Amino acid sequence: MKNLDKNLNIVQDILNKTEEELKKMNPVNVLVIGKTGVGKSTLINNVFRENLALTGIGRPITKHLRRISKDGVPMVLYDTRGLELSLEVQNEIKNEIFDTIKENKKLGVKEEIHIAYYCINANSSRIEPTELELISELSEKVPVVIVLTQSIGEPATMFKEYIENLNLPIYGVVSIMAEDFKVTEDYSVLSFGLKELLELSFEIIPEEAKKAFNNAQQVDIARKANSARSWALRYIGTSFGVGFLPIPFSDASVLVPMQVTLLAHITAIFGISMDKATIASLVAAIGGTGGATFAGRYIVSNVIKLIPGAGTVVGGFISGSTAAVITTALSMSYIEVLAIIAAGEKDGKYPDLKNIEILMREKFQERLKKGSKIDKKIDITTDLPKENLELDDSKKDYFLSKFKRLIKPKNSKNDS
């Protein structure tokens, strides 16, 4: 029972530390503008996690402008309403938007609006003079991207070309189909354009808000994974590189705080809904089912045998290189599993806890074996494979088999 309590404490420590990491992030603030029915909510719910347009808390800050946020998601959305109404109302909205931008800018980068998405239904093939005026004036105050929603067919393509030829002072025009569009029983137009919008947004958003934007987005899981990988390798290199003193085997549990920080930071980068049960399954995969102390003596004594010739335990001490191999294997396997969980969450599917534990254990052991092949004279934090986590054709079948094994479909109906 005592060891079990230690494991539960570790789980809570990871959750608490993750929350701390989220609070450190400068939130990303996005303004979404467009007439009713153009697909703003669909755009928001497909670009950002947690179905923000549906589940976020919307607080009116003016007559036509709402501030939407949600605990655990480091972003704020500003949503406009009423642009399709009279010219008088449109002028009111414009003034409300500009006043909000001005006041927020006074409060610094944490509050200022970083980017504006101006949404237009591509198949309307129409942009009114008042909209052009609003876009031009808005672009003087905040970076603007025109998002052409529901971009199906040649008319949508021609409309995009028309807008581009207007040479508006904007950062770009992006055509999207936020969700798959069913044309016939046998044919659908697959969603597209969201990744292009995401990449353009990353070019625009200030450096201080990029970490939060990456946390909030759900379009590019590979970007999350690669960001987590880069951070983990830097952290491990700093923690276990030159100057690291060998640890007595009996004191292996001193690795715990470092690894809690590591896993919490990775979790914060991914921005997925991690509860105690999920974290506990991942901990059990490494610490054993008997409640053995996570990342302490149990891990070291049970994984050393998987790292032949890695410097291991000499004279009862764990070297920095061995500690780094273990911690690198832990972080890389954790990232791989989180990537699969994040992909499932995006599609409204949730992890089976037992399968998470099995997969985490498999990934951890695979990573340890990779670490054991590294030349001891080479910095092990930079010699690890840097394979791109984008799924090419050769990886898709393998990924899908892992994905189907790990994920159970949600019982309730999907949101339309």
Please give the Cα distance from 286 to 292 (Å, whole number).
9
pLDDT of 251: 61
pLDDT of 187: 86
pLDDT of 304: 52
How many Cβ atoms sit within 10 Å of the Cβ of residue 64? 20
The pLDDT tens digits for 25-53 are: 999 999 999 999 999 999 999 999 999 98
Dihedral angle computed from the Cα positions of residues 73, 78, 79 and 80, in that order, rounded to the nearest 10 degrees? 180
pLDDT higher than threshold 90 for residue 256: no
Strand ordering across the sheet containing 57-60: 57-60, 65-70, 73-80, 28-34, 115-121, 144-149, 172-175
Task: Check if the beta carbon of residue 98 is closer than 8 Å to that of residue 137.
Answer: yes
The secondary structure of residue 48, as a DSSP letter, is B
Q: What is the CATH number of domain 26-215?
A: 3.40.50.300
The neighbouring-strand residues paired with 318 are 247, 313
pLDDT of 49: 93
CA distances from residue 65 to 43, 74, 80, 83, 129 in whole angstroms, order as listed: 18, 20, 5, 11, 22
What percent of the chain lies above the pLDDT cut of 90? 51
The pLDDT tens digits for 127-152 are: 999 999 999 999 999 999 999 999 99
pLDDT of 34: 95
What single-letter amino acid sits at 43? Answer: L
Task: Check if the beta carbon of residue 11 is closer than 8 Å to that of residue 94.
Answer: no
pLDDT band at 188 (very low <50, low <70, confident <90, very high): confident
Please give the Cα distance from 164 to 173 (Å, whole number).
7
Domain definitions of the chain by residue range: 26-215, 220-409
What does the block give as tokens for 145? 């991207």
Task: Check if the beta carbon of residue 87 is closer than 8 Å to that of residue 75.
Answer: no
pLDDT of 299: 52
